Chain A
Amino acid sequence: KNQVEQSPQSLIILEGKNCTLQCNYTVSPFSNLRWYKQDTGRGPVSLTIMTFSENTKSNGRYTATLDADTKQSSLHITASQLSDSASYICVVSPFSGGYNKLIFGAGTRLAVHP
């Protein structure tokens, strides 16, 4: 069964520190992998999209990496800010499926404390 597992479930860091969130998936073959940020009480907002041939993609202080061989992705947040407090969701698109086949991870809840 195609699955997307994220770790840790939750994380607390101090403002200004870096952190890395993990995403492991069993979807194969896959078309692309996305990271979304979901603020409390809001809908998810896209951070990055990587195809299976890309290794890294940056969006400001957010850098996503992808290792298609080990089926792992990570989202690295540099110099965290209070506004980074949110859930981060990893989403994998199977190669043979459309947008109706997207597989969402349960998310990592990040809290940045002053």
Chain B
Amino acid sequence: NAGVTQTPKFRVLKTGQSMTLLCAQDMNHEYMYWYRQDPGMGLRLIHYSVGEGTTAKGEVPDGYNVSRLKKQNFLLGLESAAPSQTSVYFCASRDRDFSGANVLTFGAGSRLTVL
């Protein structure tokens, strides 16, 4: 099992360019999440999905769009990149549960630099 795979691992963009980060999971998980991690701050939720065809906003959704056309894939798009979006982006997934104590499985991260 590969778990959660993110592509690309590194990307440099110029201000105003667009790009898409791909997250793929092979665990048949229902729920998927996109976070950003900035120095000195905890991970912050950008968008999430509770199933194929659904998306919802997280804590910091502005400037990002997402799509979940297939259960195993969750795409994060930047339509017009800004320097403030320089960050490390993490995708995570989990299975459906009712205990509230499920474990998030994270990808290895995608480091994005916007010049």
List chain A positions with a Cβ less than 8 A from chain B.
4, 31-32, 41-46, 49, 51, 89, 91, 93, 99-100, 102-107
Question: How far does the Cβ of A74 sit from chain B's closest Cβ, in whole Å?
Answer: 18
Give 16 A-B pairs besides A44-B43, A46-B104, A99-B102 with Cβ atoms closer than 8 angstroms. A31-B101, A32-B100, A32-B101, A41-B109, A43-B92, A43-B106, A43-B108, A45-B106, A51-B101, A89-B42, A99-B48, A100-B48, A102-B45, A104-B42, A106-B40, A106-B42
Interface residues in B13-50 by Cβ distance below 8 A to A read: 31, 33, 40-45, 48
Question: How far does the Cβ of B86 sit from chain A's closest Cβ, in whole Å?
Answer: 17
Question: How far does the Cβ of B113 sit from chain A's closest Cβ, in whole Å?
Answer: 15
From DSSP, what is the main secondary structure of chain A's interface residues? strand
Contact A103:B108 (CB < 8 A) given known A49-B101, A51-B101 = no
| Bound complex: CA A49 to CA B99 (Å) | 12
- Check B56 for interface membership: any CB of A closer than 8 A: yes
Inter-subunit contact B104/A42 (CB<8 Å): no
Question: How far does the Cβ of B20 sit from chain A's closest Cβ, in whole Å?
Answer: 19
Contact of A99 (CB < 8 Å), options: B33, B43, B109: B33
